Amino acid sequence: MALPELCSSFGARLERVLDGVPGLVSYLVFTSLLRRAPTVARAVELLARRHRGRAWLVGEARSDAGAVRLAYLGSPDRLSRWLLDRLGAGPLREEDGAGAPGSVACDVELRLVPSEEADDWAGTGWLVLPRYVHHRQRLDREPSTFERRVARRARASGVSLRFTRDARDLDLFKSVLYDPMLERRHGERALRTGRALLRFGQLRGGLFVAEHEGRPVAGAVAAPSAYNPAELEIWALGVAGDAPAGAGPAAILGWIDRARERRLSVVDHVASLPLYSDGLTRQKLRWGTTLHEPFAAREMLALRVQGSGPAIHDWLSRHCFAARSRAGIVRVAAARPDELARVARSLAVG
């Protein structure tokens, strides 16, 4: 029988090797299908949607004005739970109910709907949102005011950047910066990119490590877009809990400068929730990004607020939505449910 320390060592190594492999396979297969066989890609996504299943997730958002009951019908995955958490709902529980609107008593109802049905839902007063949004920054010839501010802060803090494609640097980034940051900020709700997919991105693009006094304090993995070679996508950011001011933005700025040097047109800061009121969205907007729907999105979120009263008005005042419209993603804030429904109908794309 193998020694326990050898078993644990082998287990840790196997876990590291397999970490993110399903995500990498999914990425490679789906991006290839989208380019070469979009009809097959849509069929694969439909099968995946059926496999994920649908469930009602219910929770309450509480404030001094009272409680607002939220109910969501769709895939009970981490992305959905992250959104509900940001909307104040918790703790979440699954409830039985039919699939028809209004099947579960609530003040705010959300449901995943096929993208081809989105206009029908909007036409009846449901606000339609992407499940998440991309942040695309069009690069001007010269750095923006915010970019210059980030560079000055990094210099003042003594932060320097190092570019690497070494797998050992990726392992250090993941174990010391990326995973601890996700645990610190999001706990079990974190949407985590596995090592295999990060390594694939590092090989196609690279990793910028921000260092302070010889110690890594932040890092960012980025790679060229699978759909447009003139665009760069930032895949992952990791920041130490005790990093000096500006270390995280400095790692991102390294990629923006590199993209500008290579005459790329866009840096995609990738994803956040469809909420202008969310902290991550606000952070990414500082770079001068504009919000866009994910490429070839097959599902949308439909949201409806019912009833009235101080608690509902207070809940609405706390959230600003990134809604789908003819003109792309637009900012939607409303003080009353009837106002939100009226705006939703006006945004129907069809």
H-type helices in 37-99, by residue range?
38-52, 78-86
140-264, what's its fold? Aminopeptidase (3.40.630)
The pLDDT assigned to 229 comes to 87
The pLDDT assigned to 40 comes to 52
- Domain ranges (residues) in the chain: 53-131+294-346, 140-264
Cβ contact 129:324 at 8 Å: yes
Give the separation between CA 172 and CA 272, rounded to whole angstroms. 25
Tell me the Ramachandran region of residue 195: left when phi exceeds 0, alpha when psi lies from -120 to 50, beta otherwise: alpha
The pLDDT assigned to 51 comes to 47
3-state secondary structure of 73: strand
Q: What is the pLDDT of residues 14-54, one digit of tens each?
A: 444 446 555 555 545 545 545 555 655 555 555 555 545 68
Which residue matches tokens 């109802």? 109
**Full DSSP string of 108-171:** EEEEEEEGGGHHHHHHTTPEEEESSEEEEEEPPSS--HHHHHHHHHHHHHTEEEEEE--HHHHH
Which portions of the chain are predicted below pLDDT 70? 1-53, 350
Burial class (CB in 10 A: 0-12, 13-18, 19+), 72: buried
